[in-house]
Structure 1
Amino acid sequence: MVYLAVLVLAATLLLAIYAYRRPAQSQPPSIIPTSPNLHKEDDIVPVSVNYFFTRKCNADCKFCFHTAKTSYTLSLRKAQSGLSLLAAAGMKKINFAGGEPFLYEEYLGKLCRYCKEDLSLESVSIVSNGTKVTEKWLKVYGSAVDILAISCDSTNPETNKNIGRKDRDSGKAFDNVENLFQIKEWCQQYGIRFKLNTVVCSLNWQESMAEMVEKLDPFRWKVFQVLVVVGENENDARKRDATKFVITDAQFEDFCSRHKHLKCMIPEPNKAMKSSYLLIDEYMRFLDKGDGDEKVSDSILKVGVQKAIKQVRWDQEEFHNRGGVYDWNSAAEKTNSCAGVSKDKKLEW
């Protein structure tokens, strides 16, 4: 018995020594507390960030301003490292976009969960064309998502097809309307705020979407004026040529006036869009899609957030003017926005 006790004691000691000397397993990067005293006076705080982690898409939208110039996607760990750096610099809201983010459903889900649970961000949102959203995904990851925005530019299938909201392989136009109502129902079921995005262009500026939007009753309806970005979609030499879809400011205002009774509508003309968004590409580089050529910073993974963000122009005044900060998490009071309960025109992604 004494011999057996000695063996047990020896084995216990060996296990303890092994556990002490073994390298720690790779864990997602931890967040540095973002208390004010960690920031320098001249630091820029990236409160809200759009992360375009992929340029790959299953649609063929003709005016897309973030085209499939590469198929690159960071490893999950590197993406988490970049998000951790942004959170340490003061990021409170992240929006995942593309491309089509749901083409990488597990990757997207893990990033959402990491941002919500590990980084404790106030808001996690996604912009999607809706064709790859499933209830199965929402069951697994929906608790980590505050806002789900779906793009729809027309209630007319032929218009959607001409715009390019169709399957890249089959050429079949997306059945936007039916899909929208299904996703809205899922969002209600899983406690996610539903948002609608529409790009107004030469093919749809005379259309009325009021009846559909009223029935859909989104948390916000963001209405964008089609935007030309040099280096992405400004001529036939690019993968997309948005110049064929450009409208005048008056035409954009005409569309908005036709829908002004919908209190959920948030118009965003070109002048409000340029340089007022913080955009991060698939390499974790800040993008400046303002006037002139598109500008790209060094990756925050190489030079850090502050050096990178100061290499591009971010119009913080315009960001605040368009209401870039608002009640943006899923716990915020949910109201029937399109019924006109609020006249607040705050904007979001």
Structure 2
Amino acid sequence: MMNSEITVNFHLTKNCNFRCGFCFAHFKQSSHLEIEKTASIVREIKKSGFRKINFAGGEPLLYKNFESLLLVSKEIGLITSMISNGSRITKSWVNNNAPNLDILGISCDSAKPETLRQIGRGDGSSIDHTKKIFSWITDYNEKSGRRVFKKLNSVVSKFNWNENMSEYVASLNIDRWKVFQVLKIEGENDHKFSEFETDENEFNFFLKNHKELAKFGLKIVPENNSAMTNSYLMVNPDGCFYYNHNGKYLLSDPILDVGIETALKQIHFSKDKFKKREGFYII
């Protein structure tokens, strides 16, 4: 598999306005890189033959120069993607930024406000707001002739493993639904993990609850703990590659100090696992 088929996930900031108890992106750094350095990393990613970049966090829209970085990424020819909790996305944001965005993923784990509140994903209002965001994208696609690919991300935990979200998910009119088994990372979410942990049987029960959605053309992509581990190529807010080693994050040297090729040799990333979890797909 060539670099051109692999997605680089750039976690721009540790900051988030939600407090999801299962989150494993609570980076220890107290700051993030300025736009000049993040743009330089994005350019290095392009030069190394990668074609697709996904911006994440924390919440990427809390990175103050996100829109400028998105524009740079599109201008140099990258396929652009982002994963957001959606709270800062408005209709005007969609109209202003959709021209530079190829894939929009929104994270929402339940169709029940109380469940979202228990998880820590805001006050529960994201259920309705997520639906609005995808409708704005649909409107943009119809008016512009472009196609921003629509994706939902959901984490299966102790709070939602027996929920059936089928009616809600079907109403979103999305292209792809990624369903993750909650994952433990030492130093990130281990202090609360016992409150959220699910086993394989519970995870599979959630998937079985939603299998009928596939009949309506929705692509459901399940990822258990094994599938996720070392199948994501990730850059942290300090510009280092990082990976999951026995349930703990380890870092490469900074990309801008040693170069991408050297930094890549310092981490473990499985192209085979990336391919197996359907990380490469046509939009």
Q: Same fold (TM over 0.5)?
A: yes
Q: Verify the 8 A CA contact 1:53 1:96 in the aligned structure 2.
A: yes
Q: Verify the 8 A CA contact 2:4 2:52 in the aligned structure 1.
A: no
User: Matched residue of 1:261: which SS?
Assistant: helix
Q: Verify the 8 A CA contact 1:155 1:176 in the aligned structure 2.
A: no
Which residue, 104, 108, 127 being the options, matches 1:177?
127
Q: Verify the 8 A CA contact 2:60 2:84 in the aligned structure 1.
A: yes
- Does 1:292 pair with 2:247? yes
> Counterparts of 1:55-94 in structure 2 under 5 Å?
55-94=14-53
Instruction: Note the C-alpha offset of 1:95.
Output: 0.5
Matched with 1:269 is 224
| Alignment size in residue pairs | 272
User: Matched residue of 1:91: which SS?
Assistant: coil
Change (3 A) 1:234 1:250: same
Q: Residues of 2 paired with 1:257 and 1:294: CA distance?
A: 31
User: Matched residue of 1:279: which SS?
Assistant: strand
Change (3 A) 1:44 1:216: closer
Q: Verify the 8 A CA contact 1:66 1:232 in the aligned structure 2.
A: yes
Q: Verify the 8 A CA contact 2:112 2:124 in the aligned structure 1.
A: no
Matched with 1:136 is 92
Q: Verify the 8 A CA contact 1:44 1:309 in the aligned structure 2.
A: no
Q: Residues of 1 paired with 2:47 and 2:248: CA distance?
A: 30
Instruction: Note the C-alpha offset of 1:229.
Output: 1.0
Instruction: Note the C-alpha offset of 1:48.
Output: 1.0
Query: Larger Cα Rg: Structure 1 or Structure 2?
Result: 1
- Does 1:315 pair with 2:270? yes
Q: Verify the 8 A CA contact 1:97 1:127 in the aligned structure 2.
A: yes
Q: Deviations over 1:49-84 (max 9, x none)?
A: 000010000001001001152331211111111111
Q: Verify the 8 A CA contact 1:46 1:91 in the aligned structure 2.
A: yes
Instruction: Note the C-alpha offset of 1:103.
Output: 2.0
Matched with 1:154 is 110
Q: Which has the higher strand share?
A: 2
Q: Verify the 8 A CA contact 1:53 1:101 in the aligned structure 2.
A: yes
Moved more, 287-296 or 85-94: 287-296
Instruction: Note the C-alpha offset of 1:209.
Output: 0.1
Instruction: Note the C-alpha offset of 1:198.
Output: 0.5
Q: Deviations over 1:186-211 (max 9, x none)?
A: 11122322211100000100100001
AA aligned opposite 2:198? I
Instruction: Note the C-alpha offset of 1:323.
Output: 1.6
Instruction: Note the C-alpha offset of 1:111.
Output: 1.0
Normalized against structure 2, the TM-score is what?
0.92
AA aligned opposite 1:112? L
Q: Deviations over 1:118-150 (max 9, x none)?
A: x201x2111111111112222222100011111
AA aligned opposite 1:111? L
User: Matched residue of 2:10: which SS?
Assistant: strand
Matched with 1:120 is 77
Using the aligned pairs only, state the percent identity.
Answer: 39
Matched with 1:232 is 188
Which residue, 280, 291, 303 being the options, matches 2:258?
303
Change (3 A) 1:175 1:158: same
Q: Verify the 8 A CA contact 2:113 2:127 in the aligned structure 1.
A: no
Q: Verify the 8 A CA contact 1:230 1:293 in the aligned structure 2.
A: yes
Structure 2, unpaired ranges of 5+: 142-147
Matched with 1:216 is 172
Matched with 1:207 is 163
Q: Over the residues paired in the alignment, what is the CA RMSD in angstroms?
A: 1.6
